[in-house]
Amino acid sequence: MITAGDFRNGVTFELDGNVVQVVEFQHVKPGKGAAFVRTKYKNVITGSVVERSFNPTEKFPTAFIERKDMQYSYADGNLYHFMDTETWEDVAIEEEKLGSNFKFVKEEMVVKVLSYKGNVFGVEPPYFVDLQVTQTDPGFAGDTATNASKPATLETGAEIRVPLFINEGDIIRVDTRTGEYMERAK
């Protein structure tokens, strides 16, 4: 059990039959009245975010989310296959459970498969991935002086904005949480 007074970012617990994760919290001690905990939490299954205040003494069952390293193997229609790197077991996950940042994952990449009580509800790619630019307009000398950007297609098919000096064939590092270009990969 966890009390609302113990909330921290990333803590997962059960609330009204749902598994939620604390996104933001703030302990409030007003001049008059009792203290409370102002919280923003996310339903880990549906992704919806809710703001709510709790009494610091309220208790909730702790939810343990299993994060298992698995290697992405291949896609077959709307099923995506992952291999457990320890048991060599193949797990098929529906496309709607992958999330929008899965577009940065290529075959044989190791990701974290998220499950709660044996039910898979999501896939977390690595925070940073190195991908090759397969299509973009050519850059020109002197393009590094401004913060202008241009569209680029990556080897996974994802499209992002990159600086003007990036060319086709360049390997770049992408932040999968924001979908933003970070730097050229070494």
The C-alpha atoms of residue 45 and residue 179 are separated, in whole angstroms, by: 21
Same domain, 137 and 176: yes
Nearest to 96 by CA among 118, 72, 127, 121: 121
Q: Are 129 and 176 in contact (CB under 8 A)?
A: yes
- Both 132 and 118 in a single domain? no
Counted residue by residue, the chain has a size of 186
Q: Same domain for 118 and 148?
A: no
> pLDDT tier at 144 (50, 70, 90 boundaries)?
low
| Count of structural domains within the chain | 3
Does position 143 have pLDDT exceeding 60, yes or no? no
Taking alpha carbons only, the member of 170, 151, 156 closest to residue 100 is 156
Same domain, 13 and 43: yes
pTM value? Answer: 0.70
DSSP 56: T
- Give the CATH number of the domain where residue 7 resides: 2.30.30.30
**Residue 151 and residue 103 share a domain:** no
Q: What is the DSSP letter of 150?
A: E
Dist CA 153 CA 128 (whole Å): 17
Say which range, 18-27, 98-107, 136-145, has the weakest mean pLDDT. Answer: 136-145
Average pLDDT over residues 124-139: 88
Number of H helices and E strands in the chain, helices first, is 0, 16
Which residue type occupies 61? Answer: P
Residue that terminates a domain, selected from 10, 32, 60: 60
79/39 same-domain check: no
Question: Which CATH number belongs to the domain containing residue 92 in this structure?
Answer: 2.40.50.140
